[in-house]
């Protein structure tokens, strides 16, 4: 709940910071693609222990970025992932439980570091979009969850009209659904996600 409130408080002023400016060359569009690993969605023991987790997922992100002066910048990112979720039982067996996608919007700051490295931090919201209403998503994907994100990037020394950055991104949010609350899971489970992406950024005109 605290993370969600922080995201709402910071979201409004940050959107004003990264809005397009009248001067040309101040806004860059970035596209990133890669893979994401997520921790367990649900862990319980009815007769035997089991866990429900998403498979490693492809991820795509689109970012609008603008400089703020010095080595600082601001950005807004829309991130999308989709993967199959499976139930894993203690005996090693597993069963597919359908497909779920996530969409996240974050706003934040970027700091250019030494040796082509950069760091980004952001806050925002994330929603789960199930392909069908079954299992833990039988009553829908639930409300938007507050999200915190941190990323470290390294610019590749390639000479093209685009700048390429290899980036490792970590984010955290609370996961629950109406079906889980209906089954007695009163607290949201902390979800950790790690993504490795390659980001392409159009060079600004001066």
Range among 43-47, 85-89, 138-142 rated most confident: 138-142
68, 59 Cβ separation under 8 angstroms: no
The band of 160, judged by pLDDT with boundaries at 50, 70 and 90, is: low
Predicted pLDDT of residue 126: 98
The band of 19, judged by pLDDT with boundaries at 50, 70 and 90, is: very low
pLDDT digits (tens, 9 = 90+) for 178-187: 988 888 888 8
In a domain, 23, yes or no: no
Domain count, the chain: 1
Range(s) of the domain holding residue 9: 2-16+28-202
Predicted pLDDT of residue 50: 75
Q: Which tokens in the block code for residue 43?
A: 């862990």
Predicted pLDDT of residue 23: 42
Residue 5 clears pLDDT 50, i.e. is over it: no
Contacting residues for 164 by C-beta, under 8 A, at least 6 apart: 155, 156, 158, 198, 199, 200, 201
In a domain, 54, yes or no: yes
In a domain, 148, yes or no: yes
Q: What CATH number is associated with residue 117?
A: 2.40.160.20
In a domain, 103, yes or no: yes
């Amino acid at each position: 709940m605290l993370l969600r409130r922080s995201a709402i408080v910071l979201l409004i002023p940050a959107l004003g910071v990264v809005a397009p400016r009248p001067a040309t060359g101040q806004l860059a569009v970035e596209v990133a693609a890669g893979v994401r690993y997520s921790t367990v969605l649900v862990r319980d023991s009815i007769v035997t222990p089991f866990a429900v987790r998403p498979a490693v997922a492809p991820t795509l992100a689109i970012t609008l970025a603008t400089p703020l002066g010095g080595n600082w910048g601001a950005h807004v990112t829309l991130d999308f992932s989709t993967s199959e979720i499976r139930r894993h039982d203690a005996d090693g067996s597993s069963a597919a439980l359908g497909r779920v996608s996530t969409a996240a919007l974050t706003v934040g700051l970027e700091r250019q570091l030494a040796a082509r490295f950069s760091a980004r931090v952001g806050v925002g919201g994330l929603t789960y979009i199930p392909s069908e209403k079954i299992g833990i998503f039988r009553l829908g994907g639930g409300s938007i969850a507050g999200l915190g994100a941190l990323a470290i990037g390294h610019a590749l020394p390639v000479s093209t009209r685009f700048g390429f950055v290899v980036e490792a991104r970590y984010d955290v949010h609370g996961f629950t659904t109406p079906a889980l609350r209906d089954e007695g899971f009163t607290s949201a489970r902390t979800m950790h996600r790690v993504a490795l992406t390659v980001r392409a950024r159009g060079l600004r005109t001066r």
